[in-house]
Structure 1
Amino acid sequence: MDIGNKTLDYIYVLDQVLLLLTMPNAHDPLVGTTLDGRFLIEELIGSSSLSNVYRATQLRVNRDVAVKTLKFHIDDKQAHRDRFQNEVDLLCALSHPNIVTLFDWVPGPDGQPCVIMDYLPGRNLEKLLAEDGPLNISRFTRIFVQVLGALEHAHRKGVIHRDVKPGNIVLMDKETDFIKVVDFGLAKFNQSSLTEGEEICGSPPYMSPEQCMGKPGSERSDIYSIGVVMYEMITGKDPFHQATSMYELIQCHVKKQPPPLKEANGLLSYPVGLEPLLLKAMAKDPADRHQSANELKEHLVATCLKAADNESGLSSTLKLDNETTKLTNQPQTGLSSPGGIGSGKLALGSGPGVTAGVANLAEGVSTSTTGDTNTTSGITLPSASSASTSASIRQNAHRMAKNPFMGNIPITLVFALLIVIGLIFGSIQFLTSLKQNKNKAVQTSESTDSSLSKTK
């Protein structure tokens, strides 16, 4: 099957349909209600196929919080309720200055669990990159030392994020580059999950090879994802941004090596040793990566500290300890309580990124190149150099892959929507054909009548 411009156009149309289906509703019935007598829902600030996120007021202390309602019901089975409560308790136990705080959960009006967390008004790294461009080395080091400290803390508590991406790292203070990592609420845990079976989570541009193939994730999966994020924030582009389709993107994660930093952005200079660091973090085999976030953090500091010091005297502000790397000038007040999932995309959990169908495609993937065509598992894909693939189509395909809404749609829903769209197109064709046949019948009848009249 040749995936060309026409197919990608159809995928783009489907993507827009899914966006419309998951857009926040201005007349959401939960807005204006009070949960558990404590949290007044003020407005819907984000939505995905897995959850809605609201800004709410905690009435007793009159502060803003974020309320994330998960789109499944806690049924009457006590075992399911207990398991969900245990997982929320585990998330609430994460206590780190660079991790969004979860306070509690309460049942919603329809029995759905509503998780209460910090409300964060900052901007995420995705928006920062779009507005300010790639990070200089001192800022890069400051930010990712904090991110890795947050991941190290979570991993020690048994929590794997599994959706590390620029959109889930929020810049709280521009002057000190103080950050918080969000969306641990959609992470999986080392202990048994709420539902049976392994669910594929993540955002395709940042997913590890093992996630792409539907294998269980680990701390090393987060290491791969943060390596991709670091590559993007220092060059301005994620390593596989030229992928022309979701399938090719998955293929790249499983088989292809990231381009050299100079090839990604030759206008910038990079510290000696940074490229080997990123390649190790993004190794295809988890055993070849850094084995902990702390190991990667120490490697980052050793590699970048001298270069960062030459830029801005960063070495005087960084101090390593066993738990995390703290910034001596980081603000200590007002950031660990009213903060939470911010506006717009900051509120959205990307949740399950690609479906089992994509995982099956990636598993056992084999690549052969002939001319301008890449063949993968029996599926023919146009290469980036193919004359038939325009730059706009490549951008649309990659935008679709990064789209958090598209990433959240279960495969069954995608198939159902495709069937519905197919039925609509089929009905249109049938009605058009029926109309044409009717017109032909009328013309034939008129012609017959005319012939009879002439005969008479």
Structure 2
Amino acid sequence: MAGNGEEALYGEELRPGALVGEWVVDRVQVQGPVSALYRARHARTGVPAALKVLHPQVAAAAVALRRFRREAATLQRLSHPHIVTVLGYGELSDGRPFIAMEWLEGQDLAAELATRGPLSPREVLAVMEQVGAALRVAHAAGVVHRDLKAQNVVRLGPGRGGPAVKLVDFGVAKGLVPGAPGSSSLTHTGVVLGTPLSMAPEQIRGEVPDARTDLYAVGVLLFQLLTGMPPFQGTTRHEVEQLHLHAPPPRPGEHAPVSAALDAVVLRCLRKAREERHPDVDALLEDLRGAVLGGAAPVEVPRAVGLYVEARLTGEPGPAAMEDLDAGLERASTLAREAGLEVRVLGGACLLAVASLPDDVRRERELRARVLDVALALTGRDASAARFHVTVHVDRLTARDEPHGWADGAASAWDAEGGEGGLLHLPGWVRDDGEEGTPIVTGPALRGLEMDFAASLLPDAPERWRLSARR
């Protein structure tokens, strides 16, 4: 075809009848910012196909062109019943690349949620078994999807031996191992790719993704399927990203009839630190089955917040100084109780107060904020002869194997979740970090409150912060 007829068929938007490789265009299905999706049919067999064609202005960019070709190579390598099948790929005469994929009769999960609302836990499990199987194959091949979301999971019609879902759109997939599709230099550390509503904190920070990055997106998808809404919503991309980075995730059970065990599975997926999520998709699915079907469901270890106050005299320990010390400890005891803590230890020069953290995310956050306010109040400078060294921490109330909580011997190694002996094993989390006047707060106690309190990380002390003020 020549002249105006050719221009009509092969303009920026392909018209019905345009021949793309072995496929004839029927109609445009979706116009996206980077590419267009067309319904087409094979010129000889008539079998329907989905054609993804890069827009001309995007195709002119070398990086975008390579990324598009990489998607085709990734999908061809990941042959699996729950991953969309690539039928072929190539280029139009003007250089625009295309991918021909199987045509999926059905609708994506976002459209399904919009029309029917949340799914039941058993329906969610059936969907996630299939999504998980697709991710297992991708991760085993060294590929992380990085854009798993409801729009990229298509539920097929029932005429294929029962409902099934397929994972689509590996456009921002990245290789985890050298030589895997996506392991090229097209994406570098510091470049953010993905959808804000589903992005893991490490993606937002531009860090190198791994399989656990997809598991965070699984948590977002689980929350959305169970409740009909994403866990974090905002009016701008920046606002949503800040929530993913700093805000504690809500429990699905706050919005839908979901069990505590299922809440625990979702919340573990949505942990800010990838090390705290499930190690792989199989571990996640095992916990999800237990939570939905019963049996060995995951149990979150009960946690509590602890406030430790140690009084120190600035001068000679005379009667007046001792009265100041006693008055200061009495004030600390009063403030701790008013904040909702129980005073467990009140000695001649120290105090330990604790409170179990509620399951409700908002109330849990409010309790920790009250304790940090108490810590700031106790370390304010005044004319008293007594100064207070204050530490706030979140951990188990007692050690795993010791019901009394006091561990013998040297202090255990302190990690991101605190001392191995729990809150009552003080050497595990209380240290002499130098100057009085500013409280010390550990990472688990500060987590999610960084926007409300000014704090600076202590040098050579990971997960320990010096608290300076309420913002």
TM interval, shorter chain, is 0.5 to 0.7
The answer to whether the 8 Å contact 1:74/1:113 transfers is no
273, 298, 323: which one pairs with 2:286? 298
How many residue pairs end up in the alignment?
A: 283
Q: How far, CA to CA, are the matches of 2:16 and 2:154 in structure 1?
A: 25
The answer to whether the 8 Å contact 2:145/2:170 transfers is yes
**How far off is 1:365 after superposition?**
11
354, 367, 389: which one pairs with 2:451? 367
Q: How far, CA to CA, are the matches of 2:12 and 2:69 in structure 1?
A: 30
Residues 56-84 of structure 1 show CA distances to partners (whole Å, capped at 9, x for unaligned) of 11112211101111344489x9x999997
85, 89, 100: which one pairs with 1:101? 85
Q: How far, CA to CA, are the matches of 1:104 and 1:157 in structure 2?
A: 20
> Is 1:256 aligned with 2:247?
yes
260, 267, 270: which one pairs with 1:282? 270
| More strand, by proportion | 2
Amino acid at match of 1:296: L
The change in CA–CA distance for 1:28 and 1:112 in structure 2 (over 3 A counts) is closer
The answer to whether the 8 Å contact 1:155/1:219 transfers is yes
229, 232, 248: which one pairs with 1:240? 232
48, 72, 75: which one pairs with 1:88? 72
The change in CA–CA distance for 1:138 and 1:82 in structure 2 (over 3 A counts) is closer
The answer to whether the 8 Å contact 1:229/1:238 transfers is yes
The answer to whether the 8 Å contact 2:202/2:208 transfers is yes
Q: How far, CA to CA, are the matches of 2:67 and 2:264 in structure 1?
A: 41
Residues 162-221 of structure 1 show CA distances to partners (whole Å, capped at 9, x for unaligned) of 111111111113584311111124423334336363542211111111111222222111
The answer to whether the 8 Å contact 1:237/1:264 transfers is no
Runs of 4+ in 1 over 4 A off after TM superposition: 79-87
- Provide the TM-score with structure 1 as the length reference: 0.57
Identity of aligned residues (%): 31
**Map of 1:178 onto structure 2:** 164
The RMSD of aligned alpha carbons is 3.1
The change in CA–CA distance for 1:369 and 1:128 in structure 2 (over 3 A counts) is farther
Counterparts of 1:20-35 in structure 2 under 5 Å? Answer: 28-29=13-14, 31-35=16-20
Counterparts of 1:39-58 in structure 2 under 5 Å? Answer: 39-58=23-42
Gaps of 5+ in 2: 1-9, 296-447, 455-471
Partner of 1:223, secondary structure, is helix
The answer to whether the 8 Å contact 1:173/1:179 transfers is no
From the CA coordinates, give the structure whose radius of gyration is larger: 2
**Map of 1:154 onto structure 2:** 138
Amino acid at match of 2:197: P
Residues 108-165 of structure 1 show CA distances to partners (whole Å, capped at 9, x for unaligned) of 1211211111111201111111221111121111111111111111111122111111
Residues 267-322 of structure 1 show CA distances to partners (whole Å, capped at 9, x for unaligned) of x2x23411111111111011111121121111111221239xxxxxxxxxxxxxxx
204, 213, 216: which one pairs with 1:221? 213
**How far off is 1:369 after superposition?**
7.3
**Map of 1:62 onto structure 2:** 46
Q: How far, CA to CA, are the matches of 2:275 and 2:98 in structure 1?
A: 37
**Map of 2:149 onto structure 1:** 165
Q: How far, CA to CA, are the matches of 1:86 and 1:45 in structure 2?
A: 23
Q: How far, CA to CA, are the matches of 1:365 and 1:201 in structure 2?
A: 26
- Provide the TM-score with structure 2 as the length reference: 0.55
Residues 384-413 of structure 1 show CA distances to partners (whole Å, capped at 9, x for unaligned) of xxxxxxxxxxxxxxxxxxxxxxxxxxxxxx
Counterparts of 1:416-427 in structure 2 under 5 Å? Answer: none
Partner of 1:297, secondary structure, is helix
The answer to whether the 8 Å contact 1:55/1:64 transfers is yes
| More helix, by proportion | 1
Partner of 2:452, secondary structure, is strand
The change in CA–CA distance for 1:244 and 1:52 in structure 2 (over 3 A counts) is closer
Amino acid at match of 2:231: P
